[in-house]
Structure 1
Amino acid sequence: MCGSSRPAATGIDVNRIPTLDIRRFSEPASPADREAFVAELGAAYREWGFCGIRGHEISDAQIDTAYDVFKRFFALPDEVKRKYNVPGSGGARGYTPFGVETAKDSKHFDLKEFWHVGREIPRDSKYADVMPPNLWPEEIPEFRDVAYGLYTSLDQLGSRVLSALALHIGLPESYFADKTDSGNSILRPIHYPPITTDDVPNVRAGAHEDINLITLLVGASAEGLEVLSRKGEWVPFTADADTIVVNIGDMLQRLTNHVYPSTTHRVVNPKGEKARQPRYSTPFFLHPNPDFLIDVLPSCVTAENPSRYPEAITAHGYLEERLREIKLK
C-alpha cells in the first residue's frame, strides 16, 4: 500500500541523499535482501525524491564514449548546430540553442544548450504524430549509435528502478512495463558553457522539478547539482563516478498522490576558476506512453492523504502543458 505522503524516516539519513546498489534487486543475495532493497529505495524516495544508484552495469567506457561524442557536437560552430534546431517543435528532437529554456516562474533563461534524442518507433505507430523521428548530426557519424546505445541502457535501468518502486507501493512488479514500453522518453546531452563574468543574474539551471516519471542522470560527478530538502535547505549532491542519480518527476508524484515527491533541484554556478570551465551532463527523462492516463492510484489515497488530483490527464497532455510553462513551446 502507498500509505501516507510523509515518509517513514526509520533508517534514512535526513541530512544526506543515499546511494544504493541495484544488484541487490536484480541479483540479490537472498529474497530478504531484495525486500530490504525495495524498502530502502522506497524510503529514500519518500524522504528525498532522489537516490544514487550504483551497480547499474553501464560501463565507464560507454559513458566516456558518449561524453566524448557529445562534447564534439557542442564544439561545432553555432551555425552548424542551428541546422538541427526545429522551430515550433518544443525542442522535441535535435538541438535547442543557448538561452531558450527557462525554469518555471524564473525571470531568467538557463545557461545551457542541449540536444534531444527520442525513442525510435515505426513511423506507422499510433504515437508517430506526437513522437517525431530523431535528427542526427551528419558532422559526427557515430553520434547516432553512441547516443541511442546510451538511451537504451538508461531506459532498461529505469525500468528496473520502476519495478522496485512498483513493489514498494503494493503494485505488481511488472506494473509499469506495458505503460512505458513506448514511452516518449528523452536523452538530453547538455552543455553549460564557461561563465566569463561575475555578475550573471541567472544560474546554469534554475530551481525546478522534472516533468516525467523518473530522471536518470549519468555523469553527475561534476559539482553543481543541489537538491532542496524537506527542511528547506539546499543540499549539494555530487555523486561518485560509478553512480547514476535517479530522481522522481512530476508525473510519478501525481500518480502516487505525492507519496513520492518530485523534489526541487537546480544546477548552481561554481565559484572561482571552476566557473570558467564548461560543464556537461546527460539526463534521461523516462516518460510513460503518450496515451497513459495519469490518475491517482487508489492505494495512494488515504484519510491522511486525500486525492490531490480529482481529474486525470494523459501523459502527452501533461507534457504539452509543462513545455509551455518552461518556454520550450
Structure 2
Amino acid sequence: MSQALQIQDSIEPVSFKLYDADFAAFSQKLGDSYARWGFAAISDHGLDQARIDAALDQMKRFFALPEETKLKYKLPIAGQRGYTPFGVETAKGHTHYDLKEFWHVGRDLPAGHRFRDHMPDNIWPDAELPEFREKVQWLYQALDAMGLKVLQAISVYLDLPRDFFADKVDVGNSILRLLHYPPVPQDGPHIRAGAHEDINVITLLLGAEEAGLEVKDHDGRWIAINPPAGSLVCNIGDMLQRLVNHRLPSTTHRVVNPAPERRGFPRYSTPFFLHFNSDYLIKTLPSCIDADHPDRYPEPITADDYLKERLREIKLA
C-alpha cells in the first residue's frame, strides 16, 4: 500500500470566485501552484452539480452493462471514441496493463471539416441508455469551457495575452474520458493507473469518489491528492510543458490500488484532456528561452503528430 503524503497539506485550493472578482490574483495563485506542483485544485468551480451527477449516473449505468454489450461500442480508431475494454491501456514504459476500462467522447465537427479524417463522429449507446448522449455531452462542453478559462489564467501568468490560447484549442482534439476502475480483490502486479504524464495541454478532473490519485514530488515522494469535495483538479500536460520549455511542469502521477478495506469498491472519474488544434505547431515560446533556460525542444512538432507518437507508446494506437 502506498505511503503517500497528503497533498492538502501542501496545495491550497484556488477559489474560482476570484476569476471574476480578482482575475490577477486567480492567475497568480493558479500559476504558482502549477509552477510548484504541475497540479492545482480549483474550488467553487460553479459547474452545475445536479448535471454532473446526472452524467456520472449515466456513466455508471454504462459500465454496469454486460461485457458483450459494451464491446459493441469498441471501435478500431486508436481508442479515441467509444469504449476501450479492461486490460488494454498500459502506461509508457510499463509491462503491466492498467486496471481500468473507459469511454471516450470527442469534439463534434461539421461535415467537410479538415480534421474529420482523424476526429470522427462520436458513437453513443442510445439503444441501452437513451439519456447518455445528452447528459455526457453537457459534461464535455462544460469542461471544455472551463478549460478555456484556466488557459486564460495560465496565459496571464506567463505574460502572454489573456486570449493567447483561444484560437489554438478551439477545434482541438480534446477528449472526455469516463473511467471505471473495478474493485481490486487481491494484491498483484497491476495497479489502477501506472505512473505517467498526461499527453495533452491541460487535464481537468472532477473529484473521484475513491482515493488513489498521487503525484510524484521533486524529491521522488508520492503525494496523495485529496482535494475538498466539490473541487476540480487540473494539471499541466506534456504538450504545454514542451511549449513553455518546462516553466510549468507536467508531473508524473498514478492511481494506486485501494486499501484492503476499500478493495470491494469501484472507482469512477471523468478526466477531460484538453488538446491543441491538430495542426498547431508546438514550438517553444521565445519568452520561455534564455541563457539559463536553453530551448529543450529545438525541433517543433504538430499537435497531431505528437499525439499519435504518444498513443502508440501507451498501446492505444
Task: Give yes or no for TM over 0.5.
Answer: yes
Are positions 1:214 and 2:208 aligned together?
no
Question: Residue 297 of structure 2: which of 300, 309, 321 is its match?
Answer: 309
Give the gaps of 5 or more residues in structure 2.
1-6
Question: Residue 38 of structure 2: which of 27, 41, 49 is its match?
Answer: 49
Query: How far, CA to CA, are the matches of 1:309 and 1:15 in structure 2?
Result: 34
Query: How far, CA to CA, are the matches of 1:24 and 1:53 in structure 2?
Result: 10
* SS of alignment partner, residue 58 of structure 2: helix
Query: How far, CA to CA, are the matches of 1:274 and 1:14 in structure 2?
Result: 21
Are positions 1:322 and 2:284 aligned together?
no
For each residue in 1:129-164, what CA deviation from the matched residue of structure 2 results, as whole angstroms up to 9, or x when unmatched?
Answer: 110100101210111111110000000100000001
CA contact (8 A) 2:199 2:239 kept: yes
Instruction: Name the residue aligned to 2:4.
Output: none
* SS of alignment partner, residue 263 of structure 2: helix
Distance 1:58 1:51, change over 3 A: same
Distance 1:150 1:14, change over 3 A: closer
Question: Residue 168 of structure 1: which of 150, 157, 168 is its match?
Answer: 157
Q: Which amino acid aligns with 1:93?
A: R
Are positions 1:179 and 2:164 aligned together?
no
Displacement of 1:274: 0.4
Question: Residue 273 of structure 1: which of 239, 246, 261 is its match?
Answer: 261
Q: Which amino acid aligns with 2:93?
A: D
Are positions 1:257 and 2:251 aligned together?
no
Count of residues paired in the alignment: 310
* SS of alignment partner, residue 159 of structure 1: helix
Query: How far, CA to CA, are the matches of 1:34 and 1:205 in structure 2?
Result: 35
Once superposed, what is the RMSD of the aligned Cα atoms?
1.3
Displacement of 1:38: 1.4
**Map of 1:127-166 to 2, 5 A cutoff?**
127-138=115-126, 139-166=128-155
For each residue in 1:68-115, what CA deviation from the matched residue of structure 2 results, as whole angstroms up to 9, or x when unmatched?
Answer: 10000000000000000013x110100000000000001100000000
Query: How far, CA to CA, are the matches of 1:220 and 1:150 in structure 2?
Result: 15
Question: Residue 95 of structure 2: which of 89, 97, 107 is its match?
Answer: 107
Instruction: Name the residue aligned to 2:80.
Output: 92
Query: How far, CA to CA, are the matches of 2:219 and 2:25 in structure 1?
Result: 27
Q: Which amino acid aligns with 2:62?
A: F
Instruction: Name the residue aligned to 1:37.
Output: 26
Query: How far, CA to CA, are the matches of 2:15 and 2:210 in structure 1?
Result: 21
Task: Report the TM-score when normalising by structure 2.
Answer: 0.95
Query: How far, CA to CA, are the matches of 2:23 and 2:255 in structure 1?
Result: 33
Displacement of 1:235: 0.4
Instruction: Name the residue aligned to 1:19.
Output: 13
Q: Which amino acid aligns with 1:269?
A: N
Displacement of 1:318: 0.4
Task: Report the TM-score when normalising by structure 1.
Answer: 0.92
Query: How far, CA to CA, are the matches of 1:105 and 1:264 in structure 2?
Result: 13
* SS of alignment partner, residue 79 of structure 1: helix
Query: How far, CA to CA, are the matches of 2:137 and 2:24 in structure 1?
Result: 33
* SS of alignment partner, residue 252 of structure 1: helix
* SS of alignment partner, residue 223 of structure 2: strand
Identity %: 56
Displacement of 1:214: 0.2
Q: Which amino acid aligns with 1:24?
A: L
